[in-house]
Amino acid sequence: MTPYPSADFALTVQAADARTLRLAIHGYLDYDTSDEFTPTVDRLLDAHAGQHGPALRHLHLDWTDLTAFDSSGLSALLGLRRRTHPAGITLHLHHQPDYFTRLLEVTGVSDHLTQHATAS
């Protein structure tokens, strides 16, 4: 496990192989920390591609230790989807807190975020 911490946000690599990358988000993904999420995930995706080539097909995000999530976090998550989906990478969301799930449902993006991607 590799942590990428800050005061209120951390990202942990739980597992990786050529086709699958599993990340855990800890703490806040909100206005104050969402600007850390995107470049951190981008670096991890780039490192994975450097090691395995363009084989990644599944990015699993574990939200068990998420303590706050707001519209800025949602924007960062949608930005991640904009990067991964055209590359043929499907997002999988696991263990979301109720408030996270509610925000995805109210905004109507839950199915959009996890729509199956096909490699181009």
pLDDT digits 0-9 by tens, 12-61: 999 889 999 999 999 999 999 999 999 999 999 999 999 999 999 999 99
Smallest CA-to-CA distance from 32 within 65, 56, 81, 67 is with 67
pLDDT higher than threshold 60 for residue 103: yes
**Rounded Cα distance, 23 and 27, in Å:** 13
Class of domain 2-113 (CATH, top level): alpha beta
Domain range list for the chain = 2-113
**Rounded Cα distance, 9 and 83, in Å:** 21
Assign 109 a pLDDT band (cuts: 50, 70, 90): very high
pLDDT higher than threshold 90 for residue 67: yes
With a threshold of 0.85, does the pTM exceed it?
Answer: yes
Q: What's the pLDDT score for residue 1?
A: 43
